[in-house]
Amino acid sequence: MKVLIISSIYINHLLQIYKKHKKLKDSCYEDQYFKIKDEAIASIGEWPDYFSKIDVECKVICVNNPIIQETWCNENYFEPEKENSEFSIVIAQIRKFAPSHLIVMNPGYLNQDNRFDKLLHFCPSIKRKVCWYGAPSGETSFLKNYDYVLSPSKNLTEKNLNDGLKCFHLNHAFEPRILDLVGKGKQRKNKMCFIGSLNSGNEWYNRRISYLERISKEIEIDIYSDVQKLNYYQRFKHTYILKRHSLCKVLLQKNIENKFLLNHSNKNNLPQFDRLASSQIVKKIKPPRYGLDMLQLLSSYRFTFNMHIPLSGSSAGNLRVTESLGLGTCLLTDSKTNNSEFLCNYTDILSYNTADDCINKIISLMNNNDLVDEIKTVLKENTLLHHSTSNQFDRLNYIITK
């Protein structure tokens, strides 16, 4: 058995890595691969090492890193096609490795321009196709191309099973090597942080935004997210339109009526503004962190706020849960039926049902250092024992081989 993993990376994170390590782009393919592996450390990136322990050769291809892909071409004397050069390199890499098993972390990538069929045509060594499907991306009929679909979401797993797919639940996991890379660091801040997505306008994240607005009124919280803030002109326009709306409403109450007032006093006629544009937390939002930098930041806080997107349904298990607990950061998360898998006997203390419930529990914890120290120690041990890459890999290996 030979396994090849097709993966990708956040472009902003990729740019930060090469900016941080300025000479990395001139390094050989192997040196670039291992440096990026450390900077973007996650359980999935460690799978090749775990495969090697059972004498299975495994490689990872990062399809959207043009620098390392160009390096591979130079080292292998390969001239990519002028059209579809990115995919022609991927095909060449797979043909050279000749894997028997293919694991695709972003199945949407092969769902473009008939890539999936082309790949199988040029790479006949592939006998089993597996994909990771963590979040819905619209059309899903292409998932039928795979022998197995892996998902960290129990909700998606059940839906895919109902759709006739061979879908298996595979939890996110914490990679213990992170602890060596992060190091002990400085004394933790007795503060709360939130690190994650706040895509305004997306109903998945509006509830997160509302909770963070409520929490920030009572508790100092540091927020890190990749959001597009309004420029000066946009802020001015936004403020002007809202004030005009308020003034028109007042004038109407004084029985001053005309078409202009009627139109601009109607809330339904207001333009659709970014959800964060008028939020008090927008000024608190700091630039995003990725990979190892994010994990080092997370490990510097005693508390972190977590909320699953609606897609998760009644089950917990997003990546932030295992990352936080594995690092020993006290996690406040939304109530789910299986929270005890991660929070053990502290489920009632660390799970919230409302924003006020969350605030009360944060304040209580901040005033009880001994309890927080006990929680982080117990839950860190539980995460390393039951939710590590080793646990995840054992299940992965069972799924694809048995």
Q: How would DSSP label each residue in 100-162?
A: SEEEES-HHHHTSTTHHHHHHHH-TT--EEEEE--S--S--GGGGGSSEEEES-HHHHHHHHH
Distance CA 345, CA 162 (A): 33
- Provide the pLDDT for residue 274: 56
Asked whether the predicted pLDDT for residue 332 surpasses 90, the reply is yes
Tell me the pLDDT tens digit for each residue of 112-128. Answer: 889 999 999 999 999 99
| pTM score, whole prediction | 0.86
Asked whether the predicted pLDDT for residue 231 surpasses 60, the reply is no
Residue with tokens 């700091």: 286
- Provide the pLDDT for residue 202: 59
Fold match, 2-173+390-401 / 177-229+279-386: yes
Asked whether the predicted pLDDT for residue 354 surpasses 70, the reply is yes
Where are the domains positioned within the chain?
A: 2-173+390-401, 177-229+279-386, 232-269
Residue 243 makes CB contacts below 8 A (sequence gap 6+) with none
H helix and E strand count, the chain: 19, 12
Asked whether the predicted pLDDT for residue 136 surpasses 70, the reply is no
Residue, of 278 and 50, whose pLDDT is higher:
50
Asked whether the predicted pLDDT for residue 228 surpasses 70, the reply is no
Banded model confidence at residue 280, pLDDT cuts 50, 70, 90: confident
Banded model confidence at residue 135, pLDDT cuts 50, 70, 90: confident
Tell me the pLDDT tens digit for each residue of 154-205. Answer: 888 888 888 888 999 999 999 999 999 998 767 899 999 999 988 755 566 7
Q: What is the mean pLDDT of the chain?
A: 89
Is there a contact between 157 and 167 (Cβ–Cβ < 8 Å)?
A: yes
Asked whether the predicted pLDDT for residue 270 surpasses 70, the reply is no
Q: Can you identify the CATH homologous superfamily of domain 177-229+279-386? A: Glycogen Phosphorylase B; (3.40.50.2000)
Distance CA 65, CA 221 (A): 34
Asked whether the predicted pLDDT for residue 271 surpasses 70, the reply is no
- Provide the pLDDT for residue 402: 79
Q: What is the mean pLDDT of residues 361-371?
A: 96
Q: What is the DSSP code string of 85-117?
A: HHHHHHHHHHHHH--SEEEES-HHHHTSTTHHH
- Percentage, residues of the chain above pLDDT 70: 89
Banded model confidence at residue 142, pLDDT cuts 50, 70, 90: confident
| Token pair recorded at residue 215 | 């929490």
Backbone angles phi, psi at 7, to 5 degrees: -130, 180
Distance CA 235, CA 4 (A): 48
Cα angle 287, 293, 296 (rounded to 5 degrees) comes to 115
Distance CA 216, CA 395 (A): 40
Tell me the pLDDT tens digit for each residue of 10-27. Answer: 999 999 999 999 999 999
Distance CA 98, CA 205 (A): 41
Asked whether the predicted pLDDT for residue 230 surpasses 60, the reply is no
User: Hey, which CATH number is domain 2-173+390-401, 1.10.3470, 3.40.190, 3.40.50, 3.10.110?
Assistant: 3.40.50
Asked whether the predicted pLDDT for residue 237 surpasses 80, the reply is no
